[in-house]
Amino acid sequence: MQEIASPPLVVDLDGALLRTDLLQEVATSFATRHPLRSLRLAGWSLRGKTSLTARLGGECELDAACLPYRESLVAWLGRQREQGRRLVLATAFHRSLAERVQAQLGLFDEIMAAGSDTGVSPASRRDLLVERFGERGFDYVGREAADAPVFSVAAQGFQVGSSSGLAKVRSADGALEVLDGGPDASLRGAIRMMRPHQWIKNALVLLPLIFAHRYTDLASVAHVLLALVAFCLLASAAYILNDLIDLAHDRQDSTKRARPLASGEVGLLTGWVLWPLLLIAAFVLAAFFLPGLFVAALASYLVLTLAYSLRLKQTAIIDVLALAALYTLRIVAGAEAMRVQASFWLLAFSVFFFLSLAFVKRYSWLKAARESRSAGVEVAGRGYVDGDLEIVSSLGAAAGYIAVLLLALYINDSRTAQLYRSPQIMWMACPVLLFWITRVWLLAHRGEVDEDPIVFALRDRASWIVAALLLVLFVLARLVP
Half-sphere exposure of 239 (CA within 13 A, CB side): 22
Cα–Cα distance, 213 to 419 (Å, whole number): 8
pLDDT score, position 384? 82
> Do 340 and 218 have their domain in common?
yes
Whether residue 2 is contained in a domain is answered as: no
Mean pLDDT, residues 92-110 taken together: 84
Q: Identify which of 227, 242, 163 has the alpha carbon closest to the alpha carbon of residue 195.
A: 242
Backbone region of residue 140 per phi and psi (left: phi > 0; alpha: psi in -120 to 50; beta: other values): beta
When divided into structural domains, the chain yields a total of 2
Of 154, 180, 206, which residue sits at a domain end?
Answer: 180
Check: CB of residue 473 under 8 Å from CB of residue 425: yes
Residues 116-137: pLDDT tens digits? 444 456 777 788 888 888 888 8
Whether residue 396 is contained in a domain is answered as: yes
Residue 287 lies in domain: 187-479
Higher pLDDT, 94 or 136: 136
Whether residue 1 is contained in a domain is answered as: no
Mean pLDDT, residues 80-109 taken together: 85
Residues 295-319: pLDDT tens digits? 999 999 999 998 988 788 888 899 9
> Do 205 and 306 have their domain in common?
yes
Whether residue 4 is contained in a domain is answered as: no
pLDDT score, position 37? 67
Cα–Cα distance, 186 to 192 (Å, whole number): 10
Q: Is the pLDDT of residue 248 over 90?
A: no
Q: What is the CATH number of the domain that holds 457?
A: 1.10.600
Residue 47, amino acid: R
pTM of the model: 0.81
pLDDT score, position 2? 42
Q: Is the pLDDT of residue 285 over 50?
A: yes
Backbone region of residue 141 per phi and psi (left: phi > 0; alpha: psi in -120 to 50; beta: other values): beta
pLDDT score, position 121? 67
> Do 27 and 50 have their domain in common?
yes
Confidence of residue 65 (pLDDT cuts 50, 70, 90): confident
> Do 176 and 191 have their domain in common?
no
> Do 331 and 254 have their domain in common?
yes
Whether residue 309 is contained in a domain is answered as: yes
pLDDT score, position 237? 94
Q: What is the CATH number of the domain that holds 109?
A: 3.40.50.1000
Q: Is the pLDDT of residue 1 over 80?
A: no
Mean pLDDT, residues 24-52 taken together: 68
> Do 368 and 329 have their domain in common?
yes
Cα–Cα distance, 16 to 311 (Å, whole number): 34
Q: Is the pLDDT of residue 143 over 80?
A: no
Average pLDDT, the chain: 82
pLDDT score, position 124? 76
Mean pLDDT, residues 194-213 taken together: 89
> Do 68 and 208 have their domain in common?
no
pLDDT-wise least confident of 12-26, 171-185, 258-272: 171-185
Residues 386-416: pLDDT tens digits? 788 889 999 999 999 999 999 999 988 888 8
Check: CB of residue 245 under 8 Å from CB of residue 309: yes
Cα–Cα distance, 20 to 262 (Å, whole number): 9
pLDDT score, position 62? 72
Confidence of residue 53 (pLDDT cuts 50, 70, 90): low
Higher pLDDT, 322 or 145: 322
Cα–Cα distance, 441 to 358 (Å, whole number): 12
> Do 174 and 195 have their domain in common?
no
Pairing of strands 139-143, 9-12: parallel
Of 162, 180, 198, which residue sits at a domain end?
Answer: 180
Whether residue 3 is contained in a domain is answered as: no
Q: Is the pLDDT of residue 332 over 90?
A: yes
Residues 429-480: pLDDT tens digits? 999 999 999 999 999 998 888 778 888 888 899 999 999 999 999 889 888 8
> Do 298 and 433 have their domain in common?
yes
Confidence of residue 52 (pLDDT cuts 50, 70, 90): low
Higher pLDDT, 31 or 448: 448
> Do 329 and 375 have their domain in common?
yes
> Do 141 and 210 have their domain in common?
no
Cα–Cα distance, 481 to 478 (Å, whole number): 8
Confidence of residue 174 (pLDDT cuts 50, 70, 90): very low
pLDDT score, position 165? 42
Measured in whole angstroms, how far is the alpha carbon of residue 175 from the centre of its chain? Answer: 40
pLDDT-wise least confident of 154-158, 178-182, 231-235, 290-294: 178-182
Cα–Cα distance, 350 to 346 (Å, whole number): 6
> Do 176 and 264 have their domain in common?
no
Check: CB of residue 8 under 8 Å from CB of residue 138: yes
Residues 205-219: pLDDT tens digits? 998 888 888 888 899
Of 130, 158, 180, which residue sits at a domain end?
Answer: 180
